[in-house]
Amino acid sequence: MDIKYFSIAMFAAGIFVQCFFMARKALFNGDLGPGAGIIIAAAVAFIPAKGEHTYILFNHIMLFLFLFTLLFAVVFNKHILPRIDERVILIISIIFVYRLLDTAHSYPSLSPFFLTCAIPTAIMTCAVLLNAFIPRTPPRWLKVVFYAWYLLMAGGIIAMQFPCGNFFRIIVEDNIATLDIIELVTAGMTLVYLSVNFMNAWLLIPIPSKGQSWESRLNDLRDHIDLLNSKYSDDQGRPWQTAVIMILCAAVIAAQELILQTRDSLFANIGLLIVYFMFGQLPITRTRTG
């Protein structure tokens, strides 16, 4: 087998494995029809485009995989939205700030973009730290804000790989073979993660789609806000536990920079997946009131 297509197979394996883990409850309940429908719908990617003189199979396979992950996020959205709590937001914040600073340092040409992100990132990072150290359940509106910020951070960590990371090399036919198996599989898994986050962040934009009334759009927005709120767990750690998490994250980042020197994209992807599999499927805890 051509090494290029072996690399595509590993990337696709990561996508399908992550999709299975995220939607396994729905699939085990016999909800197989939507899954089959997604595959059939995404298969249109293999139809030659109008005016396409040379059929490049690599491009059509990649289009199929990207279309599949997007449709998966649309169809199974309510089933696959992960559970988060203050620990998840704290860890993702640390990874996000690390990747933002590292990418800004490595690619000075992108500095204006990163400077634009600096102020909201600093404000939200301070809010995340206060939430982590203060033993108090945040109000409903703040849970939604934190969840929205989590979606943007997790999506941003992955999106930064398109102009200057693993995804940039994956979508270029001559470069995909330069990635090893672990990088390809984790990139596929995090692409699904990106699609889910993008879909849920998009649903928070209060702009009606074509033919939709403002009233209908606002009702959908309220339903989505309720969904995000329901996925925010009231689990809280003690201040010393928060400090330990920060110290451990700092130690891992230091080891990455000084000893391991793993490719930054792989390091970030593994961090995202560990957080998802450790916390994303845990039961939701609610603080009793009254």
Which of the four pLDDT bands, split at 50, 70 and 90, describes residue 290? very low
Tokens of 206: 């209060």
% of the chain residues with pLDDT over 90: 16
Residue type, 160: M
End-to-end CA distance of the chain: 64
Span of 130-134, 143-147, 170-174 with lowest mean pLDDT: 170-174
Per-residue pLDDT, 253: 82
Query: 12 pLDDT exceeds 50?
Result: yes
**Most confident of the following: 32-36, 228-232, 261-265, 276-280:** 228-232
Span of 139-148, 236-245, 247-256, 278-287 with lowest mean pLDDT: 278-287
Q: Please tell me which residue, 77 or 69, carries the higher pLDDT value.
A: 69
Planar angle of CA 22, 182, 5, nearest 5 degrees: 95
For 179-236, what is each residue's pLDDT tens digit? 788 888 988 888 888 888 888 888 888 888 888 888 888 998 999 999 898 888 887 7
Cα atoms in the 13 Å half-sphere on the side-chain side of 218:
3
Backbone angles phi, psi at 262, to 5 degrees: -70, 155
Q: Please tell me which residue, 189 or 80, carries the higher pLDDT value.
A: 189
Averaged pLDDT of the chain: 83
d(CA 67, CA 39): 9
Which of the four pLDDT bands, split at 50, 70 and 90, describes residue 51? confident
Tokens of 92: 């993702």
Q: Determine the 3-state secondary structure of 232 from DSSP.
A: strand
d(CA 156, CA 117): 11
User: What CA–CA distances, in Å, run from 123 to 198, 266, 276?
Assistant: 22, 27, 24
Instruction: Specify whether the CB–CB gap between 86 and 132 falls below 8 A.
Output: yes
For 141-168, what is each residue's pLDDT tens digit? 999 999 999 999 988 887 777 766 667 7
Tokens of 14: 């990561």
Span of 51-55, 113-117, 232-236, 261-265 with lowest mean pLDDT: 261-265
Cα atoms in the 13 Å half-sphere on the side-chain side of 87:
22
CA 257 to chain centre: 23
CA dihedral 35, 62, 276, 288 (to 10 degrees): -50
Number of separate helices (H) and strands (E) present in the chain: 13, 0
Q: Say if pTM beats, i.e. exceeds, 0.85.
A: no
Per-residue pLDDT, 150: 92
Backbone angles phi, psi at 84, to 5 degrees: -130, 165
